[in-house]
Amino acid sequence: MEWQAPAIVLDARPYGEGGAVAVVLTEAQGRHGGMVHGGASRGQAAVWQAGNLIEARWRARLADQLGSLGGELVHPTAALALEDPLALALLSAACAVAGEALPEREAHPRLFRGLLPILARLGTQEAAATPGLLPDYIRWELLLLTDLGYGLDLSRCAQTGATEGLTHVSPRTGRAVCAEVAEPYRDRLLPLPAFLRDAEAASGPGDWAAGLRLTGHFLARDAFGTRHRPVPAAREMLYDRVSALAAPPEPPPEVPPDDVSA
């Protein structure tokens, strides 16, 4: 058994003398693991950093074996994101969510194709403003929920059928509601940021935090909760970092006036 394909490194952990067990995501093979001989060595460790885009090769005698995994670096996402805390948080969250939520060896081509351009742009001059990638990443989490069978219905109001003025989502049903219906229950509903309904809508840190809170609720309840697993710590850290961006700056401390008495 053998395959070769572009892949995203999701995780790599040392194993034995200089080896590593790596997990990658490909379009046709899905989340797939393998033994990387020498993967923890000085020469190869940089290739197997989470988030890197590689050309992967997998071989095994039988299809159900762990098999051996090799790869050549195509794009050093991990190194490019290293100097940007927000980019690194986004990269870590994406790899952790994909690595822990997706079933092993089950193809999810839309998820691979959706995540690939986000990681390819992290840390590059084109994406010097990393926050601009957050709306795409949050939409990717929505797509992940859909692919796993937990899709949200953000197309119309659950009560009135209206397709305009949708402002909140029910945390129980995952269906959107309009402002009029939401008003009496605002404190029990999840805000629906406009950019999730309109790709052209402007957005900022408060919207991104609301989007991460929305997808995070259903990731915790459905994608991870049904398997009795917590949301990955890296995903929680991304939410905390974005929430900090959305928080109003603290006022400067008051400085007492100079003593001008004679």
pLDDT tier at 262, thresholds 50, 70, 90: very low
CB 24 within 8 A of CB 56: yes
Residue 261 has a pLDDT of 47
How far is Cα 152 from Cα 173, in angstroms, rounded to an integer? Answer: 8
Residue 256 has a pLDDT of 64
**What's at 48, amino acid-wise?**
W
**What's at 207, amino acid-wise?**
D
How far is Cα 130 from Cα 21, in angstroms, rounded to an integer? Answer: 30
Per-residue pLDDT reduced to its tens digit, 106-138 = 999 999 999 999 999 987 755 456 788 999 999
- Cα dist from 212 to 55, 63, 237, 241, whole Å: 31, 37, 11, 11
How far is Cα 14 from Cα 20, in angstroms, rounded to an integer? Answer: 4
Looking at every residue in the chain, the average pLDDT score rounds to: 92
Residue entry with tokens 């193809």? 107
Residue 43 has a pLDDT of 87
CB 176 within 8 A of CB 169: yes
| Averaged pLDDT for residues 26-55 | 95
pLDDT tier at 199, thresholds 50, 70, 90: confident
Give the least confident one: 18-22, 50-54, 180-184, 252-256. 252-256
CB 112 within 8 A of CB 129: no
φ/ψ bin of 149: left (φ > 0), alpha (ψ from -120 to 50), beta (otherwise): left
Q: Who contacts 10 (Cβ-Cβ below 8 Å, separation ≥6)?
A: 23, 24, 25, 31, 50, 95, 98, 99
Closest CA to 212 of 29, 86, 119, 33: 86
How far, rounded to the nearest angstrom, does the alpha carbon of residue 57 sit from its chain's CA centroid?
25
Dihedral in degrees, nearest 10, Cα atoms 173, 215, 227, 113: 120
- Cα dist from 80 to 42, 109, 255, whole Å: 19, 25, 41
pLDDT > 50? residue 201? yes
Task: Given CATH 2.40.50.140, say whether it is the number of domain 1-75.
Answer: yes
How far is Cα 196 from Cα 139, in angstroms, rounded to an integer? Answer: 7
Helix, strand, or coil (residue 126): helix
pTM for this structure?
A: 0.92
Sheet of 176-178, strand order: 176-178, 166-169, 190-191
| Averaged pLDDT for residues 31-43 | 94
Q: Which secondary-structure segment (H or E) carries 7?
A: strand 2-15
Domain ranges of the chain: 1-75, 83-154+192-247
